[in-house]
A = this chain, B = another copy of it.
Amino acid sequence: MGGIVWNDEDKAMVATVLGIKAFDYLMSRSVPAECSLIAMGNDENLHSKLSDLVESPNTANFSWNYAIFWQLSRSKSSGDLVLGWGDGCCREPYESEEWEGTRIRNMRLEDETQQRMRKRVLQKLHTLFGGTDEDSYAFGLDKVTDTEMFFLASMYFSFPRGEDGPGKCFASGNHVWLSDLLNSYRDYCVRSFLSRSAHMQTIVLIPTDVGVVELGSVRSIPENLKLLQVIGSSFSSFSSLIRAKQIESSMVLTDKRDENGPNSKLVIGNWPEVIPESFGQDLNSGGAGIREKLAVRNVEDKPWYRYANGSRLPFTKDGLHRATWMQNSNVNPGNALELSTIQNTAKNLHQMVNESREEFRLNNFQNQKPGQMQIDFAGATSRPLISRPPNTESEHSDVEASCKDDRAGLSDEKRPRKRGRKPANGREEPLNHVEAERQRREKLNRQFCALRAVVPNISKMDKASLLGDAITYITELQKKLKDMESDLGKHESISREASTSESKPNSELQDQVPRINVQSIDDQVIVRVLCPLDNHPVSRVIQAFQDAQVTVLDSEISTGTDVVFHTFVVKSQGSEKLTKEKLMQVFSRESNSLEPTISSTG
């Protein structure tokens, strides 16, 4: 808790607002260690993808109420991998949507007390995570709606691998689609209380290779496999940090803003100029800046908000450099002059600007190069998801997010492709072909990215080298594996035992008593103990063995989420054979305190 003490009243209030589970979860986290996260990969389109899901109704006139990307990140201090707040986007339910749920807005509480509590809780969270009172979001809010509360509080959560909804989703690789949350008692996450408060009926978790996409709607949305695929592939392996060179070059571009670069074909001069001043201004929106947005929301009939992770953590002021969070001015320099890319550059700048807030200066960029760079083949493409003119013929997916073409008020008719040959002007059919090919390329590049993620020691950045490195890496692995297999042959019985024992248990891990399984093979006895993690009596078990004059030949401990799996290979001390019964006796003796369940096979 980082030296911050909450009295019981505070705790009760926070627990009341967030729900007890969320409260416990946040409290049990080692907060200071989580303050500084390094994103594992980045995507300059991250926000636009998310906002597309929220703001742009698709052909079925549906859009999500919120979209969050839980970004695979690494704690700077501990090096742990966690899913942290990557970026997010939400909007208030439309009027039309308020009719949908069974028990929605009518039970909305907007009384003074709740509003005060919400603000205080947000402020406490803000402080808890290292921010100062002055830069708290809650300060600038007149009122905090249910949606906002859910959304803003979510920013302070992070999930280690396998932990809670997003963590399990990521670890398992399986998506989660819950479409009747308000009528069921399922908790998709420790934030369930908040999501219920926000009347979320449907919540979807989609794992990607660099994080988890979380979507929510107040409507009940049936599971849509196609959408899962589209979103999954759209958000997966986009990463990433880019080369310092590219950062520099994009910075150079930015610095050129007052000289109108020689080959600037578009009205790019305006954008870099507007960046420092319009920091926080979303380019897709009507124009409300990030910080203003909370104050001036509902300016339109389609209010929506965005909160980049860069703006989440005000404690950058405390000296923690979070430049690596969103190190994603991820522009292929070759494409820097294309409109949408310029927009991305602007967004990236915006995010980087966010990092050091008002006192940001351009010439600091050079110092913020991250230590480790990554390839992003896909990053350079930077095109809104499934960008096709709305007048195209009917498409297969009906829930996909479409994209706005009237981006930032700039005319889009004159938007040449960044590279390659110019379109053979005057065609009607190849437009589809071009788009298909584009997507194919993008997919391929994503694969390259993913490959890059699993291959260590990449020698060079180009694709050929990457492939080469992958090949050598694979052969290395194969060789290692082969060598090991030969070495391992004699011990395979042991490992077989281990694997069988591992495949069994997970059904009832919640048992608070250890399960003990004794199996004898020849003069060896294999003892398997399944035990809650917080209650594993190593000392006593070992002591028991010693007392019983039992030699422990081998002993292995594996761990599940919250259990210990302890395997002994034991042998009786003397020449005398250790019978299973004897050992069970031992365990029974030990079990006076443990009360184990003993089963015997073999």
Question: A: which residues have CB within 8 A of B?
Answer: 30, 33, 40, 72, 74-75, 77-82, 160-161, 209, 237, 372, 421, 440, 443-444, 447-448, 450-451, 453-456, 463-464, 467-468, 470-475, 477-478, 480-485, 487-488, 490-491, 494-495, 498, 523, 533-536, 538-539, 542-543, 545-550, 552, 554-559, 561, 564, 566, 572-579, 582, 585-586, 589
Contacts and interface: CB of A to CB of B under 8 A. Distances in A.
Given A78-B589, A454-B575, A447 B468 contact: yes
A74 B482 CA distance: 13
Contacts of A559: 542, 545-546, 552, 555
Contacts of A554: 490-491, 494, 556, 558
B543 A533 contact: yes
Contact of A548 (B79, B372, B483): B79
| Residue of A33, A494, A549 with highest tally of chain B CB at under 10 A | A549
Contact of A481 (B481, B549, B572): B481
A418 to B, nearest CB: 17
Contacts of A545: 559
B546 A582 contact: no
B549 A80 contact: yes
A542 B534 CA distance: 10
The listed residue with most B CB atoms (<10 A of its CB), out of A77, A491, A552, A555, is: A555
A38 to B, nearest CB: 10
15 contacts: A40-B574, A79-B578, A79-B579, A160-B549, A447-B471, A450-B467, A451-B470, A451-B471, A454-B575, A470-B474, A473-B474, A534-B539, A536-B538, A554-B558, A556-B556
Contact of A72 (B543, B546, B558, B574): B574
Given A552-B559, A554-B494, A557-B557, A474 B477 contact: yes
B81 A572 contact: yes
A482 B79 CA distance: 10
Contacts of A468: 209, 237, 447, 450
A302 to B, nearest CB: 35
A576 B498 CA distance: 23
A190 B501 CA distance: 47
B160 A546 contact: yes
Nearest to A482: B79
Nearest to A441: B464
B490 A488 contact: no
B79 A490 contact: no
Nearest to A550: B80
A333 to B, nearest CB: 19
Nearest to A581: B79
A450 B474 CA distance: 11
Contacts of A33: 589
Contact of A478 (B454, B463, B542, B556): B454
A428 to B, nearest CB: 19
A490 B552 CA distance: 14
Contacts of A561: 546
A476 B430 CA distance: 40
A487 B477 contact: no
Contacts of A161: 549, 573
Residue from A72, A545, A547, A572 with most neighbouring chain B CB atoms (10 Å): A547
Contact of A523 (B77, B456, B470, B576): B456
A586 B78 contact: yes
Contact of A471 (B74, B237, B491): B237
Given A160-B549, A447-B467, A554-B558, 8 more contacts: A79-B572, A79-B582, A421-B421, A447-B471, A470-B474, A487-B495, A533-B539, A557-B566
Given A72-B574, A209-B468, A557-B538, A548 B453 contact: no
Nearest to A474: B454
A210 to B, nearest CB: 10
Given A79-B585, A467-B451, A490-B556, A209 B548 contact: no
A450 B473 contact: no
A443 B538 CA distance: 45
A534 B540 CA distance: 8
A209 B471 contact: yes
B443 A464 contact: yes
A536 to B, nearest CB: 5
Contacts of A455: 474, 575
